[in-house]
A = this chain, B = another copy of it.
Amino acid sequence: MSGPSTDAPRRGRGVGGRPRIEDVAAAAGTTAITVSRALRQPDKVAPETRQRILAAVEALGYIPNLSASALASRRSGIMALVVPTIANSVFAETVDGFSEVAGRAGFQILLGQGTYSAEAEHRLLTALAGRQPDALARIGIVRHDETRALLRRTRIPMAETWDLTDEPIDLVVGFSNRDAGHAMTRHLIRRGRRSIAYIGSDDDRAAARRRGYADALEEAGLHPAAPDIRVREITYGAGRRALRALLQLAPEADAAFCANDVLAVGALLECRKMGLAVPDRLAVAGLGDFEIAQELTPALTTVRIPSHRIGAHAAELLLARIAGETIDRRVVDLGFEIVERESA
């Protein structure tokens, strides 16, 4: 009535009243080790024994303590996944693919959020590593050298994703954000655009896309239509405001390359509101190929990213690592694809 401390300890039960493996063994007339085997390698236990054990598990409502299991076996059964943000849906497909493959293989997902400040990320990754995950994946490339060193030292199989690098901490699965930005900008140029602006967010991947944009302009002897327009939040509203800002800064711009589809959709909606003809007066291009891109009128020209496959493939590679298989390609480029629709 007045708290757990007044409960008499139950006979043959662990703290909190939860049965332990010993309790199951006693109920089944065998020992802990055989119970452990019956649960993990059923074939190695006589059918009758197994039967009695499973009955006892059922009767007692036994749930193995995975912390104890992890400590003893040195396999945690956990895969950690670090994402920049959950609120934004950009990475949802990747998380989904990762979770699907990892879950099917019996792993649980430890989710880490936030990779903005170097210190916060270092702390987060340290804490996650403390859980001894059997593998760790992160959206994006880890930038901070100290953190990279820490992760290398732990020797936890690790996948960086959503971009490429020649020297991953362990593995990297993604595509070249720089090349994607480059390809889309070239597409705009090929379509006759000469005054192309950049609208982007404030993260590493957007920065790489911007580099591709700048390179493509330079190769074509063109100049940016305006100073970069950078938004803090990735929302439709931010895309709208960015578009308005662009028209202020460079009324003569004939194309806007947006570093992601959310911003592009916002820009597109603002154009419609202002009665600005897309693509005749202004071409708008995005990156990501979210579902909404194809549903709008005009439909959004964008870059398709294998978001789900990035997650699934990273998980598969990590499973192979865990299984001790040799991985010959540590850098996996899943590519991207220009999807030409109506807006550019």
| Given A65-B132, A132-B67, A237-B291, A110-B110 contact (CB < 8 Å) | yes
**Are A154 and B99 neighbours in the complex by a CB distance under 8 Å?**
no
A89, A93, A109, A131: most-surrounded residue (chain B CB, <10 A): A131
Q: Does A222 make an interface contact (CB < 8 A)?
A: no
From 80 to 126 in chain A, residues with beta carbon under 8 angstroms from any chain B beta carbon are 81, 85-89, 92-93, 95-96, 99-100, 103, 108-114, 126
Query: Cβ of B76 and Cβ of A87 under 8 Å apart?
Result: no
CA distance A240 to B265 in the complex (A): 18
In the assembled complex, the Cα of A324 lies from the Cα of B67 at a distance in Å of 23
Q: Cα distance A15–B70 when bound, in Å?
A: 13
In angstroms, Cα B121 to Cα A327, docked, is 34
| Candidates B63, B150, B266; contact of A61 at CB < 8 Å | B150
Cβ-defined contact, A111 with B131, below 8 A = no
* Chain A interface residue bracket vs B: 35 or more
Partner of A63, one of B68, B95, B129: B129
Residues of A at the B interface (CB closer than 8 Å) are: 3, 15-18, 61, 63-71, 74, 76, 78, 81, 85-89, 92-93, 95-96, 99-100, 103, 108-114, 126-132, 150, 153-155, 235-237, 240, 265-266, 269, 272-273, 291-292, 295-297, 308, 324
A153 to B114: give the CA distance in the assembly, Å: 34
**B residues near A297, Cβ cutoff 8 Å:** 269, 272-273
Which of B16, B86, B88, B127 touches A155 (beta carbons < 8 Å)? B16
Closest to A149 in B: B61
| Residues of B with C-beta under 8 A to A273 | 297
Most chain B CB neighbours (cut-off 10 Å) among A68, A70, A130, A324 = A130
Instruction: List residues of chain B with CB within 8 A of the CB of A78.
Output: 110
Decide: A71 and B61 in contact? CB cutoff 8 A: no
Which one of B65, B93, B324 lies within 8 Å of A71 (CB-CB)?
B65
